[in-house]
Structure 1
Amino acid sequence: MSEARPGFQREAKKHLGQHFLHEKGVINKIVQAVDPKPGDRLVEIGPGQGAITFPLLDRHGALTVIEFDRDLIAPLTEAAQAHGRLTIVHRDVLQVDFTALAKDVEGTDGQIRLVGNLPYNLSSPILFHALEHAGAIRDMHFMLQKEVVDRMAAEPGSKVYGRLSVMLQAYCRVVPLFKVPPGAFRPPPKVDSAVVRMVPRAPGEMGVQDPVRFTHVVRAAFGQRRKTLRNALQGVADTAMIEAAGLRPDARAEQIDVAGFVRLANLPTP
């Protein structure tokens, strides 16, 4: 299937980072990975031309989508009538309060399940925005640039282990699922994509006592990757604090696991 759906414009909008998924095999794998159950509150970010939307509606019967492109609202509304009950939130996803949305969407457990083929130019801001509402989210299944997924799931010592890895893994279990080739999209992007599952951790499992402090420590540590913790964290944590967290002051940020950053950030500041 390579043509646009009836009622939809053929061309994607480059300034919105649109790449429309069309490969049925990939779509089926995503729906199987989500595996919606009765009572689930499904929310899709950026439905585009409905490649994932309509199969999810066929499977689940009800879906809320967040779409910024006003030209997609009418064709999505019309096409959805043959598949199920579609609720469209016409807003920038970064302005959507997921916690409030979880209270508004019908369901049983008060949490939403996020799904989406995220625009590459907004993927990190959307991920961090979701983290701010992790308590209202049961899980997330996102398609992103493969390079980003590699960074999300990277372990200490990896060349791509960094701030994104630590911040996401502190709050979520990150599980890469499968790679998606450029040809699965129209127009094809210049990079491989991948689908990842993120499951927010329970508050007691995270261990982060002060999210603002934790963010500050991680950002400073990775701000200049070649510096040791002693130098990178000047003004944020002194040598005594670094050692009190069980870390070596001469280590670099990419050598420290998530638990180490949590211990350091939880220490009382002088």
Structure 2
Amino acid sequence: MSKTSFDSQGIPHKARKRFGQNFLHDPAVINRIIRSIGPRTSDHIVEIGPGQGALTNQLQSSVARMDVVELDRDLIPFLRLQFGLNENFHIHEADALRFDFAGLRQSDEQLRIVGNLPYNISTPLIFHLVSYANIVEDMHFMLQKEVVDRMVAGAGDNNYGRLSVMTQYYCKVDLVFYVGPGAFNPPPKVDSAIVRLTPYKELPHPCQNTKVLDHVVKNAFAMRRKTIRNGLKNLMTGDEIEQLGIDPGLRPERLPLESFVKIADYLHNRDA
């Protein structure tokens, strides 16, 4: 795999900082990611930010349909030149943060989503993607190690926060492996990690209103050193929290997902 790709005019394409681009080029890492995904001939895979096609090449040749979502218009001609003649390949020039992934679905199939996600938009993009959990079989992403550590953290862990709670509400979250900076061109200043998100067929802690849940979690972690009583004082009293069997003196990082769901359900029913 070459470190530098060329567009349709033969011009090298350089990674752009404004898109948070770091192109994967290490063949060993690429092969390990492909093995972790395990593409099947019946799969419909959606790749976010294919970049120079490091993963695209192997995935496209192994699956029934491949859609890629790429924002950088300078990469579009290169991707069309490389993969455009394949009938199962479809490219969408779009911002993944605003893209309707449900529109790619054929009949009642489940999508498999993969991507080397830009570090500068990774958290809001994860929140956008989990909203499609009901039509997704699984998701495999390359992310900044720090972000993955937050996603997999449990209650009581210093990395536990809003991203942990809301991701784990919808999905089983597994760290697959870490990746060093040398696997990319240009090398980022941070370590990366592959994470697997597997949406639950049945939610372990279903909430009556996920918008209320997100509002509660956002407020609770806005100033994470405050107690739940203080963090949620604009939503409910300490006595109300205590009536739910939750210690209002705890900090938010001590509360498991089910406690946040219990608070959200209480507020939803109280204010209905």
Partners of 1:204 and 1:224 lie apart in 2 by: 28
The separation in 2 between residues aligned to 1:238 and 1:202, in whole angstroms, is 35
Classify 1:254/1:204 alpha carbon distance in 2 versus 1 (closer, same or farther; 3 Å).
Answer: closer
CA contact (8 A) 2:205 2:258 kept: no
| 1:54-77 C-alpha deviation (Å, 9 max, x unpaired) | 011122253110001111111111
Distance 1:122 1:128 in 2: 10
Q: In structure 2, what is the Cα distance between the partners aligned to 1:40 and 1:2?
A: 27
Deviation at 1:152, TM superposition (A): 0.5
Contact 2:65 2:88 in 1 (8 A): yes
Superposition deviation, residue 36 in structure 1: 1.5
The unaligned stretches of length 5 or more in structure 1 are: none
> Which residue in the other structure is 1:102 paired with?
105
What residue number does 1:158 align with?
157
* Percent of matched pairs sharing the same residue: 45
* C-alpha RMSD of matched pairs (Å): 1.7
Query: Kindly tell me: are residues 85 and 204 of structure 1, through their superposed partners in 2, closer, same or farther at Cα, counting changes over 3 Å?
Result: closer
Structure 1, 235-244 or 64-73: larger mean CA deviation: 235-244
Which deviates the most, 81-90 or 189-198?
A: 81-90
Are the equivalent residues in 2 in contact too, given 1:2–1:186 (CA < 8 A)? no
What's the CA shift string for 1:106-149, capped at 9, x where partnerless?
xx742211000000001011100012221121110000000000
Whether the 8 Å contact between 2:171 and 2:199 is mirrored in structure 1 is yes
CA-to-partner distance for each residue in 1:77-105, whole Å, 9 max, x for gaps? 111257773100111111211122224xx
- Deviation at residue 242 of structure 1 after TM alignment: 1.3
Task: Indicate the larger mover: 164-173 or 108-117.
Answer: 108-117
Flag the 1:197–1:160 CA change in 2: closer, same or farther, 3 A: same
| In structure 1, C-alpha distance between the alignment counterparts of 2:240 and 2:56, rounded to whole Å | 49
Structure 1 residue 9, shift from structure 2 partner:
2.2
Q: Distance in 2 between matches of 1:89 and 1:203?
A: 31
Are 2:67 and 1:64 equivalent residues in the alignment?
A: yes
1:188: which partner in 2?
Answer: 187
Alignment of 1:148-227 (within 5 A): 148-227=147-226
Alignment of 1:67-106 (within 5 A): 67-80=70-83, 85-103=88-106
Aligned match of 1:140 = 139
Contact (CA 8 Å) 2:43, 2:65: kept in 1 or not?
Answer: no
What's 1:34 paired with?
Answer: 37
How far apart are the structure 1 equivalents of 2:243 and 2:150?
28
**3-state SS in 2 of match to 1:115:** strand
Unaligned segments of structure 2, at least 5 residues: none
Q: TM-score under structure 2 normalisation?
A: 0.92
Letter in 1 for 2:245: G
Contact 2:151 2:167 in 1 (8 A): yes
- The 3-state SS of whatever aligns with 1:155 is coil
What secondary structure does 2:138 align onto? Answer: strand
Aligned equivalent of 1:4: 4
d(CA) in 2 for partners of 1:60 and 1:27? 17
SS class of match (1:70): coil
The superposition leaves residues 179-215 of structure 1 with CA deviations (integer Å, 9 ceiling, x where unpaired) of 0100000000000000000011235434111011101
Q: Are the aligned partners of 1:155 and 1:161 in contact in 2 as well (CA < 8 Å)?
A: yes
* 1:253 counterpart residue number: 252
Give deviations 1:149-189, integer Å, cap 9, x for gaps: 00010111111111111111111111010001000000000
How many residues align? The count is 266
Give the Cα–Cα distance (whole angstroms) in 2 for the partners of residues 141 and 122 of structure 1.
16
Which residue number corresponds to residue 270 of structure 2? 269
Q: Normalized against structure 1, the TM-score is what? A: 0.93
Q: What CA distance in whole angstroms lies between the structure 1 residues aligned with 2:213 and 2:227?
A: 18
1:18 to 18, 21, 31: 21
SS for the counterpart of 1:87 is strand
Letter in 2 for 1:146: K
